[in-house]
């Protein structure tokens, strides 16, 4: 429906009173679109009209946003003008304040992303590690997302995984910090090419970072000898209580730092027997890494088993769901996630060998 031209028949004009709730006064014209049926109540889909400050009987305009009420019907936002997400929510708050909802917009701006970050509880001094799917944001350039992040996070770190394990497969291969692409998403490659971001030297599981103390943070990967070493950049995420994990349209199979916890616990069947020799190149500087790669006899994509953490962590308040732009996002407290995974592995070292459900501690039930 986004971007579609529709005609709204107005049955509740601006300044009218809600037929059932007399304390609700319509700040905007409100009506329905003939022929478009809601799959919730089987009635014609309702719409708010923005940009018209007098009562009208009907209005033809573009669907610039969709309000998606949780467990209820959707509401269209129709206008011939641009409105930011914050502006839209202010216009319809007279009624939408009584519902829990998300909003999908036709156009997403830097300001919209910053607004969503603020509303999600992310603070400007937080350290954030982002797993992302650019496609999940819809009609938006990745550069806009990066601009919003770097504008909002002023006192913390922004970290993207920029892994190259998909291409680093042979002994003596050269990993070039500046030229070897990331294999974990379009947004990570945009970050790599954005001024101010810097990449770590790890040949298969590098990260790039922007912000305060990035050099000190990235240097942690200089002398590691495993894919996700507890003493490297991902290990730092585990021990720093300011780190939050953002899964922007990405599944929890991408929660790379659980590999680091399993390395710390020395879980068997996680590495190749072969020790690879990789060369990491940063301009004229070179480092040699002798290390195994990830491998399991139980599942070639073992990290898929990490997805079973999401439900329990949502129930425990370790994770929460929100929207950043149009992307469904999960925000996870990294330190609390670490404590939970520690407990799971202490109880059962093989907990991630398969898809068996994981337990929620009794105090959270």
Separation CA 205–CA 251 (nearest Å) = 18
Separation CA 39–CA 20 (nearest Å) = 23
- What's the pLDDT tens digit per position in 100-143? 999 999 989 999 999 999 999 999 999 999 999 999 998 899 99
Q: What is the pLDDT at residue 253? A: 87
Please measure the distance between the N-terminal and C-terminal CA atoms of the chain and give it in whole angstroms: 40
Q: What percent of the chain has pLDDT over 70?
A: 99
**How many alpha carbons fall within 13 Å on the CB side of residue 74?**
20
Identify whether residues 24 and 65 lie together within a single domain: yes
DSSP structure class, residue 357: P
Identify whether residues 75 and 155 lie together within a single domain: no
CB 276 within 8 A of CB 198: no
The pLDDT of 288-298, averaged and rounded, is: 95
pTM exceeds 0.85 for this model: yes
Please tell me the total count of domains within the chain: 2
38 pLDDT band, cuts 50/70/90, is confident
Beta bridge mates, 274: none
Domain that holds residue 343: 111-169+177-269+296-364
Identify whether residues 44 and 188 lie together within a single domain: no
Q: What is the pLDDT at residue 364? A: 59
The pLDDT of 193-217, averaged and rounded, is: 97
The pLDDT of 203-226, averaged and rounded, is: 96
Q: Where are the beta strands (DSSP E) in 227-340?
A: 243-248, 276-282, 285-291, 319-324, 327-333
Identify whether residues 65 and 146 lie together within a single domain: no
Identify whether residues 75 and 160 lie together within a single domain: no
Structure tokens at 292: 């195994």
User: CB 167: neighbour CB atoms within 10 A?
Assistant: 14
Identify whether residues 73 and 159 lie together within a single domain: no
Residue 277 falls inside a structural domain: no
CB 154 within 8 A of CB 164: no
- What's the pLDDT tens digit per position in 94-109? 999 999 999 999 989 9
- With CA atoms as reference, report the closest residue to 343 among 317, 301, 312, 365: 312
Q: What percent of the chain has pLDDT over 90?
A: 85
Structure tokens at 274: 């072969």
273 pLDDT band, cuts 50/70/90, is very high
Q: What is the pLDDT at residue 301? A: 87
Phi, psi (rounded to 5 degrees) for 263:
-65, -40
Give yes or no for residue 37 having a pLDDT over 90.
no
CB 329 within 8 A of CB 247: yes
The pLDDT of 76-82, averaged and rounded, is: 96
Give yes or no for residue 71 having a pLDDT over 90.
no
Identify whether residues 49 and 129 lie together within a single domain: no
- What's the pLDDT tens digit per position in 4-33? 999 999 999 999 999 889 899 999 999 999
Across the chain, which distance is largest between two alpha carbons, in Å?
75
Q: What is the pLDDT at residue 363? A: 63
Identify whether residues 102 and 184 lie together within a single domain: no
Identify whether residues 154 and 89 lie together within a single domain: no
Structure tokens at 364: 């959270």
Taking CA atoms, 235 is separated from 140, 339, 348, in Å, by 32, 13, 21
Separation CA 302–CA 305 (nearest Å) = 6
Q: Which helix (H) or strand (E) holds 53?
A: none
Mean pLDDT computed over every residue of the chain: 94
Phi, psi (rounded to 5 degrees) for 339:
-60, -40
CA 275 to chain centre: 34
Identify whether residues 74 and 151 lie together within a single domain: no
Identify whether residues 50 and 136 lie together within a single domain: no
Structure tokens at 212: 């305060």
């Amino acid at each position: 429906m986004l971007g579609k031209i529709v005609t709204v028949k107005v049955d509740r004009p601006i300044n009218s009173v809600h037929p059932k709730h007399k304390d609700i006064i319509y700040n905007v014209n409100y009506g329905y679109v003939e022929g478009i049926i809601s799959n919730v109540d089987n009635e014609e889909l309702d719409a708010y009209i923005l940009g018209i400050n007098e009562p009208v009987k009907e209005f033809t305009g573009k669907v610039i946003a969709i309000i998606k009420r949780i467990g209820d019907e959707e509401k269209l936002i129709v206008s011939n003008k641009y409105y930011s997400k914050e502006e839209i929510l202010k216009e319809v708050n007279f009624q939408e304040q009584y519902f829990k909802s998300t909003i999908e917009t036709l156009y997403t701006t830097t300001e919209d992303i910053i607004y969503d970050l603020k509303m999600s509880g992310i603070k400007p001094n937080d350290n954030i590690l982002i797993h992302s799917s650019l496609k999940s944001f819809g009609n938006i350039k990745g550069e806009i997302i990066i601009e919003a992040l770097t504008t909002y996070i002023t006192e913390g770190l922004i970290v993207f995984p920029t892994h190259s394990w998909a291409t680093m497969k042979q002994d003596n291969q050269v990993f070039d910090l500046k030229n070897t692409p990331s294999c974990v998403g379009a947004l990570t490659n945009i970050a790599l090419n954005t001024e101010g971001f810097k990449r770590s030297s790890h040949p298969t599981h590098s990260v790039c970072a922007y912000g305060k103390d990035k050099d000190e943070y990235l240097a942690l990967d200089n002398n590691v000898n495993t894919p996700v070493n507890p003493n490297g950049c991902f290990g730092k995420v585990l021990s720093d209580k300011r780190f939050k994990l953002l899964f922007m349209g990405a599944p929890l199979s991408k929660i790379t730092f659980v590999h680091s916890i399993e390395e710390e616990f020395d879980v068997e069947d996680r590495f190749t027997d072969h020790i690879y020799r990789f060369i990491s190149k940063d301009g004229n500087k070179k480092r040699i890494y002798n290390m195994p790669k990830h491998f399991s006899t139980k599942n070639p994509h073992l990290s898929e088993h990490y997805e079973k953490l999401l439900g329990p962590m949502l129930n425990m308040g370790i994770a929460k769901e929100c929207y950043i732009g149009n992307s469904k996002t999960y925000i996870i407290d990294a330190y609390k996630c670490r404590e939970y995974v520690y407990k799971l592995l202490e109880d059962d070292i093989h907990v991630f060998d398969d898809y068996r459900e994981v337990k929620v501690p009794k105090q959270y039930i």
